[in-house]
Amino acid sequence: MDPQLAETTIKTYLNEIRSRLDRAAGISRAADACASAGFHEKGLEVALDMEQLLYEATTLLNAASLINRIARQS
């Protein structure tokens, strides 16, 4: 695998991971605010909106790790 392509791809994936985690952190703060205000069920409902973002961040991390391993083998 071309080292420059691997580096560019990994940087892009890491940027996308950060973006998703930033959005998940915002949702987490909103869920915490709901729970702190006594609306525990609403807090959980809001927190579940993080699920897809966390899944995507994990998938991107796995992809970046795989690309890194492949690039090192070349």
Side-chain-facing half-sphere of 60: CA atoms under 13 Å: 19
pLDDT of residue 69: 96
Cβ count near 61 (within 10 Å): 14
Tens-digit pLDDT profile for residues 4-50: 999 999 999 999 999 999 999 999 999 999 999 999 999 999 999 99
pLDDT of residue 74: 75
CB 50 within 8 A of CB 24: yes
pLDDT of residue 29: 98
Tens-digit pLDDT profile for residues 52-65: 999 999 999 999 99
**Residue 28 has which token pair?**
């987490």
